[in-house]
């Protein structure tokens, strides 16, 4: 085939990157126009927070992070499930996720940020996994995730892979917050700092082409928040059961709950501020 001077087939110039578009793999076509945020219009979440051994939490943090958020610096673990529907960038589609955050503070040469660090997030759809990893540094992996289930008056959700359980989140005795407390809850969520770590392995290895902590803001809006009791259960794994995830799952199993600090159910919508994601330095 004859080639044009621009490198494409004769008469078909090679596409040039457009600075107004976000590119993903394959990077020869624009993915979507640059924008500050994208709406998730129907989000249902349950979550449980508990105190865990500080040394076990510390093992899950990259360099530059210390255990606990200011001012108390407690080794808190939050495990949460979300059912996301009406996702604008998925043409109204959706997916489920289960995530694990730990309270942490980042100390950098420029930035000092206190909030929560995402240790891992399981999702059941490819596109948000790839986007979250490549564009925001959220450590996403695949799992089969149930919709929210009811059992004996409890709400629960479970992540598994190939029939092997990974984690189960369960809440009960839920009571709605009054409007003023719901508004305060929303404001705290918006002020919270959610951090990740973008890691791109070096071609041929070892080492990294890119390793950088990240900050990912969002603007949730709640029409209902309920608080109550809850529990979390991680299931030990083996290479045979889960060859690519068993190591991190077994580390999470060591996060023994020393004291449960609360559980919640929420419903609303959220705007993920993808245009404000930035690297921490």
Q: Report which of 281, 118, 153, 277 is spatially closest to residue 213, judged by C-alpha positions.
A: 281
CB 221, CB 187: distance < 8 Å? no
Task: Confirm whether 7 is domain-assigned.
Answer: no
Task: Confirm whether 1 is domain-assigned.
Answer: no
Task: Confirm whether 26 is domain-assigned.
Answer: no
Phi and psi at residue 37, in whole multiples of 5°?
A: -155, 170
Q: Residue 190 is inside which H or E element, if any?
A: helix 179-191
- Residue 266, classified by CB atoms within 10 Å of its CB into exposed (0-12), middle (13-18) or buried (19+), is buried
The predicted pLDDT at position 62 comes to 97
What is the Cα–Cα distance from 87 to 93, expressed in whole angstroms? 6
Task: Confirm whether 89 is domain-assigned.
Answer: yes
Task: Confirm whether 32 is domain-assigned.
Answer: no
Quote the number of domains for the chain: 1
Task: Confirm whether 18 is domain-assigned.
Answer: no
CATH number at residue 270: 2.40.400.10
- Which residue ranges of the chain lie beneath pLDDT 50? 1-8
Residues 73-125 have pLDDT tens digits of 999 999 999 999 999 999 999 999 999 999 999 999 999 999 999 999 999 99
Task: Confirm whether 222 is domain-assigned.
Answer: yes
Give the domain extent around 73. 38-279
Percent of the chain with pLDDT strictly greater than 70? 93
Task: Confirm whether 102 is domain-assigned.
Answer: yes
What is the Cα–Cα distance from 189 to 262, expressed in whole angstroms? 15
The predicted pLDDT at position 20 comes to 76
The predicted pLDDT at position 22 comes to 77
């Amino acid at each position: 085939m004859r080639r044009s001077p621009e490198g494409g087939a004769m008469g078909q110039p090679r596409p040039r990157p457009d600075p107004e578009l976000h590119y993903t793999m394959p990077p020869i076509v624009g993915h979507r126009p640059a924008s500050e945020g994208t709406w998730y219009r129907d989000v249902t979440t349950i979550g449980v927070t508990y105190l865990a051994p500080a040394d076990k939490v510390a093992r899950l943090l990259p360099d530059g992070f210390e255990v606990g958020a200011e001012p108390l610096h407690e080794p808190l673990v939050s495990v949460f499930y979300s059912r996301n529907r009406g996702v604008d960038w998925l043409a109204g589609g959706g997916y489920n996720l289960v995530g694990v955050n730990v309270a942490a503070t980042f100390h950098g040469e420029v930035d000092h940020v206190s909030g929560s660090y995402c240790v891992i997030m399981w999702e059941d759809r490819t596109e948000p996994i790839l986007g979250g990893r490549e564009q925001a540094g959220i450590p996403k992996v695949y799992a089969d995730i149930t919709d929210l289930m009811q059992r004996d008056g409890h709400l629960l959700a479970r992540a598994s892979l190939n029939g092997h359980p990974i984690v189960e989140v369960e809440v009960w005795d839920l009571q709605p917050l009054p409007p003023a407390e719901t508004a305060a809850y929303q404001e705290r969520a918006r002020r919270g700092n959610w951090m990740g770590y973008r890691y791109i392995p070096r071609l041929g290895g070892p080492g990294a082409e890119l390793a950088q902590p990240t900050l990912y803001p969002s603007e949730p809006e709640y029409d209902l928040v309920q608080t109550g009791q809850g529990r979390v259960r991680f299931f030990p794994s083996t290479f045979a059961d889960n060859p690519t995830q068993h190591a991190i799952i077994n580390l999470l199993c060591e996060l023994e709950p020393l004291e449960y600090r609360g559980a919640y159910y929420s419903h609303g919508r959220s705007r993920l501020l993808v245009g404000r994601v930035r690297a921490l330095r």
